[in-house]
Amino acid sequence: MTSAKNYEFINSVLPQWLETSRLQTVHGSTAAYIPELAKAPQEALGIHIMCGNGEHVSAGDCGHVFTLQSISKVFTLILALMDHGEEAIFAKVGMEPTGDDFNSMLKLELVRPGIPFNPFINAGAITISSLIVGDGPEEKSARILEFFRRLAGSDTLDYNMDVYHSESETGHRNRSLAYFLLDNGVLGGSSVEDVLEVYFRHCAIEVTCADLARMGLILAFDGKDPLTGDTLIPRRYVQIAKTFMITCGMYNASGEFAIQAGLPAKSGVSGGILTLVPGQYGIGVVGPALNSKGNSIAGVHLLERLSQELDWSIF
């Protein structure tokens, strides 16, 4: 099926398929370990698919705003790569999936040299936060926000400060991870609280499905914004980010999602999923009810169906 035909087909089936997937939300639950996230509507499900020519189709609760959480890790990794290059970044974080939970500290102690296995687990993303260029947490955070605004094509992207404070006040496990990293010599000269401020802030940047789709579109077109023609990210760094999305983007369900959907994707505990079809679409999904692996239960259901019916798998 050509891309244009695909697009018409998606338009016609999407609302109905979304409602079928929404039925899954009763089997999941919102993240409770960040108290503010537990308030999200359990039954919400929205999707926005954006084409390289700017056309888009959306369905469900697209007006729902949510925080990026772990989805932000894709773009802080890219910014850190743009700041320092590959060699410096991969001296501090590895390239391998862990098989452990996203907030696990097990391997930081068990496996030498004590650097995080990859940039998408919390320990890895906290390390990446320490590597963003800037004079202190405010300047680093401002650079991240500015970069995300450019990728989303939106000057209004901003923090949800309630979520930021909620996580900052309760993020004891991330604090423990950061102290472990400090002890392992991974955080350079940064203090734990400074690094965590940067990390909690970028997790708390608020978006809609349309923003995610727009950011995904840049990745789908190898770093070039197809709507403006501007190159925003070097192709090599998009390639690295997309590879991590396949191997680690859905945490311990990354292998299953690669088999069932076959698309680079990144989820967050707010229920967001950013994914893309190379050369075709950027896609943003939100469904705050999560499955046992921490991914949106209905969002995964909908994306797997779309990919299977439309033959989107990259494999």
CB crowding 150-179: b at 16 or more within 10 Å, else e:
bbbbbeebebbeebbebbbeebeebeebbe
Question: Nearest residue by C-beta to ligand DON?
Answer: 70
254 binds ligand DON (CB under 6 A): no
Cβ closer to ligand DON: 294 or 299?
294
294 binds ligand DON (CB under 6 A): yes
122 binds ligand DON (CB under 6 A): yes
251 binds ligand DON (CB under 6 A): yes
Whole-angstrom distance, CA of residue 276 vs CA of residue 41: 25
Determine the interface stretch with ligand DON among 78-86, 187-195, 225-233, 264-272 (rule: CB under 6 A).
264-272
Annotated catalytic, 251? yes
267 binds ligand DON (CB under 6 A): yes
Output the known binding site for substrate: 70, 122, 167, 174, 199, 251, 269
Residue of 21, 73, 207, 267 marked catalytic? 73
Mask for 16-55, x = binds ligand DON (CB under 6 A) = ----------------------------------------
- Token readout for 225 is 């914004």
Residue whose pair of structure tokens reads 């990794």 in the numeric block: 77
* Residues paired with residue 275 on neighbouring β-strands, in sequence order: 265, 283
Contacts of 112 (CB under 8 A, 6+ apart): none
Annotated catalytic, 73? yes
Annotated catalytic, 224? no
Name which of residues 163 to 182 contact ligand DON (CB under 6 A): 167, 174
Whole-angstrom distance, CA of residue 89 vs CA of residue 169: 29
AA identity, residue 302 = L
Q: Could you tell me what percentage of the chain is helix, strand and coil, using 3-state DSSP and rounding each to the nearest 5?
A: 55, 10, 35
Number of shown-chain residues binding ligand DON (CB under 6 A) = 13
Annotated catalytic, 26? no
Count how many residues are written for the chain: 315
Whole-angstrom distance, CA of residue 76 vs CA of residue 126: 10
Annotated catalytic, 237? no
- Token readout for 8 is 């018409």
Per DSSP, the three-state class of 37 is: helix
Determine the interface stretch with ligand DON among 45-53, 79-87, 265-273, 275-283 (rule: CB under 6 A).
265-273
Residues in touch with ligand DON (CB under 6 A): 69-70, 102-103, 122, 167, 174, 203, 251, 267-269, 294
Which residue numbers are catalytic?
70, 73, 199, 251, 269
